[in-house]
Amino acid sequence: ERKTKSFNFAAYHNLETIYAFMDTLVASHPSLISKVNIGSSYENRPMYALKFSTGGVSRPAIWVDAGIHAREWVTQASAVWIANKIASDYGVDPSVTSLLGQMDIYLMIVTNPDGYAFTHTSNRMWRKTRSVNAGSSCRGADPNRNWDAGFGGPGASKDPCSDSYHGPYANSEVEVKNVVDLIKGHGNFKSFISIHSYSQLLMYPYGYTCTDVPDKSELHAVGTAAIKELTSLYNTRYQVGSICKIIYQASGGSIDWTYNIGIKYSFAFELRDTGFYGFLLPANQILPTAEETWLGLKYIMGYVRDHPY
């Protein structure tokens, strides 16, 4: 616990430090948090989700992932802070306590560990996985174009050298497959939230088509209310809408797949870029970003808890 308290949440850390932090957090809250190994990455790095649970079997659950795009460092950093926040608020914040009394939370801090390691050692601007593409010298696929939802359609590239390359087939990227297997195997996820940066958006399905989802009105209302909470802290301006309508048509995205398999409350955040820094958000903005994101996230989680289906 001493180590958790001295962890510098206002700094960017490499993969080893984040994994060590996860171990420390689990050790500090053994009755609340466990580390679930969901498989290994292409380069054989372990992939971990933190499971926050107060017991029960196959409880309804909420999935949160960060860092599927490697270079979006503020997402992994925010997720580290959020993990600690959930742990420290349990038993203190009635909303978090009540949530964990009924549901589990799975939080994946580094969803693309190979890419993240690569951004620290070789190319800070790397976004994709690190898989080898047969017949090409370019590596990796965009893991958010690789899900089985309109796979290979508009808004994804066929070119392995593109940053939005969809991969050879749906779930070809083992990092995606591992999450898919966990979600399918669990069978009781009620919400799936993916955290990206930047542009300051909260989106719901669809991305692969501009057709409205049947739950559009509810998702829009939930998203709008979540952003009201988020904005209340630092007045960071967000837009809310479907992926296709507020940014662009993009096929093979994670939240389209989760929505289509019945996880109604599927959202994707694009976190802040308040300065002119893009992916190079200064570390002194990690805490404000995490704090405001947590407010939005907590609203969505509370809504999911209160609206079982």
Partner 1 sequence: EELFNGDQVLRVLPESEDHIQALKELEEDVDSELDFWNHGFSTERPVDIRVPHDSLYAFKDFLMENNIPFTVMINNVQELLDEERAEMVNNEGL
* Binding stretches for partner 1 (CB under 8 A): 8, 11-13, 121-125, 155, 157, 159, 161-164, 198-199, 247-250, 276-280, 282-283
Distant-in-sequence, close-in-space partners of 285: CB < 8 Å, separation ≥ 6: 74, 272, 274, 275, 277
Q: Which is nearer to partner 1, 47 or 286 (CB)?
A: 286
Interstrand relation of 201-204 and 239-242 (parallel, antiparallel or unpaired): parallel
SS percent in the chain: helix, strand, coil, step 5 = 40, 15, 45
240 three-class SS: strand
Q: Which is nearer to partner 1, 26 or 286 (CB)?
A: 286
Least distance from partner 1 to the Cβ atom of residue 280, Å: 5
Least distance from partner 1 to the Cβ atom of residue 138, Å: 8
> CB–CB of 222/213 below 8 Å?
no
Residue with tokens 């559009």: 216
Q: Which is nearer to partner 1, 106 or 267 (CB)?
A: 267
Cα–Cα distance for residue pair 253/55, rounded to 1 Å? 31
Q: Which is nearer to partner 1, 178 or 254 (CB)?
A: 254
Which residue among the candidates 175, 270, 291, 292 is catalytic per the annotation? 270
Which of 172, 147, 256 has the alpha carbon at shortest distance from 210? 256
Q: Which is nearer to partner 1, 169 or 277 (CB)?
A: 277
State yes or no: is 292 an active-site residue.
Answer: no
Instruction: Give the DSSP letter of residue 284.
Output: G
Structure token pair of residue 216: 């559009």
Q: Which is nearer to partner 1, 29 or 71 (CB)?
A: 71
Which of 49, 47, 7 has the alpha carbon at shortest distance from 24? 7
Residue with tokens 């580290």: 80
Least distance from partner 1 to the Cβ atom of residue 12, Å: 6
Least distance from partner 1 to the Cβ atom of residue 4, Å: 16
Least distance from partner 1 to the Cβ atom of residue 210, Å: 12
186 CB neighbour count, 10 Å cutoff: 15
Least distance from partner 1 to the Cβ atom of residue 200, Å: 10
Strands (E), the chain: 33-40, 46-52, 61-66, 104-108, 189-197, 201-204, 239-242, 265-271
Catalytic residue annotation: 270
